[in-house]
Chain A
Amino acid sequence: MPHAHARGACRCTILPPALLRRIALRGTARQREAALATLATDATMRITRATSALLAVPGTTLPSATAAPRRTIHDAAHATTLPGKVVRNEGDLPTRDAETDEAYDGLGATYAYYLQVHQRHSIDDAGMPLEATVHYGKQYDNAFWNGTQMVFGDGDGDLFNRFTVSLDVIAHELTHGVTEDEARLVYVGQSGALNESLSDVFGSLVKQYARKQTAAKADWLIGEGLFTAKVHGVALRSLKAPGTAFDDPLLGKDDQPATMDGYVRTSADNGGVHTNSGIPNHAFYLAATAFGGHAWEKAGVIWYAALRDKALKPTATFAAFAERTSAQADRLFGATAQQVIAEAWRAVGVTVAGGARVARSRRT
């Protein structure tokens, strides 16, 4: 199979795709999983072909025989009119524009994660097209989800690099769409901080899955590579150590709390949604590292089930979400896992009501 390079975003694999496919078809469960993920996240691989060819493998369950991403990348040409001109459609070759190709590959890796780990077919679990706009605005220092698509700025080049540079940021934005489709967490106060946290958690999981990292080996950073060398900081946030990601004369010091003792009451940023998200972020990190192994296998599955739990209200508090994770842990993995979850939340100052149970999961 030809191996074309997407500038700045190529995940080069040592094993040739043909060998990976053989492993995916004939290897052990763990080998198959790793090979599948590598195939699907390789920038040169058409996910359509990778997944459809492996549909017949026992244990490789997909939502439907036609599950495949439908990506479209637009170029705003430094204006702010959305979505802009189409520059890359699903299946098109790399464009040699770093932002375009990183967005395309990042959406592909995120789609692959949700499909292979959670059997979710795109943002709405019904194959929703993945739309993204790059080169938005002039020296635009941000990325956001506008309700229907993702938007990425180029950064100013002074403090911020291009916002497509971090896979976890792309996955963060796409996950806002997933949350909007599922729990519809209101973007203010604690429910808003949960909304943000879920984007960070799955953003980090997508990156860990692409890198095949265990919870112990992962960096747990969001937005690594976004800062220029001028900024004193490593990333936007850290799930492992909230409050330590940056300390810069201009940007200030990362003020994310790790526990409820540091909960910030503010009217800014919709009630501190990007600040207090540090608390549920850290609870996830603690749960994932307590379980050990790959974070997406237990902690990720539990968090995803909680996000889809029909008992989770759009105005959920941290405690309400913690209760759903506890109930889902019990349902999916039993009492020991439930204890791990309860302890992770207790460590960040959130008490889980005992004996939480799941009546019936959303859409299951």
Chain B
Amino acid sequence: MRVDGGLAAFPGLRKPVTVDVATLPVARRERLQRAVAAADFFARSARPARPAPDARAYTIEIDDGTRSHTLALAEPIADPALQALVDAIRACSATDVG
């Protein structure tokens, strides 16, 4: 997941966050997998994020071994399922940054 924009540009936060599901603790892995399923991630169509001042944009790419899909989101994320997915990735990346 790549996070872009926000009220300030922090060079240290620009690099993409990569999460290897195989290395995650069970609880986090299951939370992430549930979030991906609940968001119906692979069926969502990618669309360019419209830039709103200071809002952040997220580019999420997920590869499950058989398929790969990319989704662009812009804040505010109105869909709770998509917000839960972003939160789940963030939670994983807190300790599993690749």
**A interface with B by C-beta (< 8 Å):** 79-82, 136-138, 141-147, 151, 163, 169, 172-173, 176, 180, 187-188, 192, 195-196, 199, 223, 236-237, 248-253, 255-256, 268-270, 272-275
Interface window among B20-28, B39-47, B50-58 = B50-58
B30-38, B62-70, B72-80 - interface stretch: B72-80
Q: Is A142 touching B11 in the complex (CB atoms < 8 A)?
A: no
Is the pair B7, A145 in contact by a Cβ cutoff of 8 Å?
no
Q: Are A145 and B75 in contact (CB under 8 A)?
A: no
Please tell me if the beta carbons of A144 and B54 are within 8 angstroms of each other in the complex: yes
Contact B53 A80 (CB under 8 A): no
Say yes or no: A272 contacts B7, CB within 8 Å: no
CB distance from A81 to the nearest CB of B (A): 7
Whole-angstrom distance from the CB of B58 to the nearest CB of chain A? 12
Residues of B within 8 A of A169 (CB): 7
Could you tell me the distance between the alpha carbons of A146 and B80 in the complex, rounded to whole angstroms? 18
Give the chain A neighbours of B54 by CB distance below 8 A.
142-145, 172-173, 176
8 Å CB contact of B8 from A138, A187, A237, A250: A237
- Residue contact B80 to A80, C-beta cutoff 8 Å: yes
Jot down 17 A-B pairs with beta carbons below 8 A, ordered by A: A82-B78, A136-B76, A141-B6, A146-B52, A146-B55, A173-B53, A180-B53, A223-B8, A236-B7, A251-B12, A252-B11, A252-B13, A255-B9, A269-B4, A269-B5, A273-B5, A274-B6
Decide: A268 and B14 in contact? CB cutoff 8 A.
yes
Hey, which chain B residues are within 8 Å of A147, CB to CB?
A: 52
User: Apart from A145-B55, A187-B51, A270-B51, what 17 extra A-B contacts exist at CB < 8 Å?
Assistant: A82-B78, A142-B55, A142-B56, A142-B75, A145-B52, A146-B52, A172-B7, A223-B7, A237-B8, A251-B11, A252-B13, A252-B14, A253-B11, A255-B9, A269-B5, A274-B5, A274-B9
Most buried by A among B12, B13, B54, B55: B54
Shortest distance between the CB of A301 and any CB in chain B (Å): 23
Asked whether A250 and B52 contact (CB < 8 A) given A80-B76, A82-B76, the answer is: no
Give A79 to B6 CA distance when docked, in angstroms: 18
Give 5 nearest A-B pairs by CB, closest first. Answer: A252-B12, A252-B11, A274-B9, A144-B54, A236-B8
Are B10 and A251 in contact, with the CB atoms below 8 A?
A: yes
Q: How far is the CA of A199 from the CA of B77 in the complex (A)?
A: 23
Q: Is B87's CB within 8 Å of the partner chain A? A: yes
Tell me which residues across on chain A come within 8 A of B6, comparing CB atoms: 141-142, 144, 274
Please determine whether A199 and B53 come into contact, CB atoms closer than 8 angstroms: yes
**Which residues of A are found within 8 Å of B51, using beta-carbon distances?**
187-188, 192, 270
CA distance A344 to B53 in the complex (A): 26
Give Cα A274–Cα B14 distance, bound, in whole angstroms: 13
Question: Which residue of A has the minimal Cβ distance to B54?
Answer: A144
Q: Which residue of B lies closest to A187 (CB)?
A: B51
B2 and chain A: residue at smallest CB distance? A268
Q: Is the CB of A144 within 8 A of B53?
A: yes
Question: Which residue in chain B gives the minimum CB-CB distance to A237?
Answer: B8
Contact yes or no, A275 B52, CB < 8 A: no
Most buried by B among A81, A180, A192, A237: A81
Q: At the interface, yes or no: B83 with Cβ under 8 Å from chain A?
A: yes
Distance A141 CA – B56 CA, assembled complex (angstroms) = 10
Q: In the complex, which residues of chain A have a beta carbon less than 8 angstroms from the beta carbon of B52?
A: 144-147, 187
Cβ–Cβ contact A176 & B11, under 8 A:
no
Contacts of A144 in B (CB 8 A): 6-7, 52-56, 75-76
B9 proximity list for chain A (CB < 8 A): 255-256, 268-269, 272, 274-275
